[in-house]
Amino acid sequence: MLRAVSRTWLITGGSRGVGLALARRAIAREENVALVARGREVLEIAAQMGERALGIAADVADPQAREAMVSETVARFGALDVLVNNAGIHRSGRITRLHPDDFAAVLDVDLAAPWSMSRLALGHMQAGAAIVNIGAVVGLRGFPGDSAYGAAKGGLTGLTKVLAVELARKGITVNLVVPGFTDTEMTAALDPRARERIIAAIPIGRTATPEEIATVVDWVAGTPYMTGAVVPVDGGLLAAMPMS
């Protein structure tokens, strides 16, 4: 049995891709959604969605902005039931070339921000609430040149499991959804040959749509007996990859 409707969502990285697709699903059920993104276009996106949507133009890398995201959501809707830590950045480069500032920036947005957002959100969450973190295949398998992103997403896996245990008695679930190769602005910028190689390794033989990933995130957020789970939505990519 899924949780009752009329929940309030806070979705970081909510102006495009998976975050936006998820917000649209919630709005279609007449649930409340706060969409967070760095660009001011999120304000117009939320306005077009109607009174149940709140746009917050802010950067999750800013600790003060994180506090404002939560407080503005609760002030507008009176509750916070689902936190989706979806915002992320990617900086690539072999360890001898990747600048330490880039490594720190990725960990701040992709790992420290979800920890901080979860901590802030908990003060407003009741039993039945959910935290869904968005991971990555590189957090479970190693890819050359992805030390920053892999470290952050691998850490997010560990954070998910720890918080799941800590919050279980409060009735709050914490799970990790691991998208595979998805059609987003980030993947669209890839070299065509690299894109072809990745798709060739996916057993299903194609990329995912943001809506397909959002469908699973939505389901995970409403499943009360699953917590601490790692849920791949990757077209079989992880199943086909060697463990070492």
The catalytic site residues sit at 149
**Strands, E, within 44-120: which ranges?**
53-57, 82-85
Q: What angle do CA 146, 147, 153 make, to 5 degrees?
A: 85
Three-state DSSP class for residue 15 = coil
CB 124 within 8 A of CB 192: no
Buried b (16+ CB within 10 A) or exposed e, 142-164: eeeebbbbbbbbbbbbebbbebb
DSSP state of 7: -
Neighbours of 52 (CB within 10 A): 19
Q: CA–CA separation, 178 vs 99, rounded Å?
A: 26
Strands (E), 32-181: 32-37, 53-57, 82-85, 130-134, 173-179
Cα angle vertex 7, ends 3, 10, to 5°?
Answer: 120
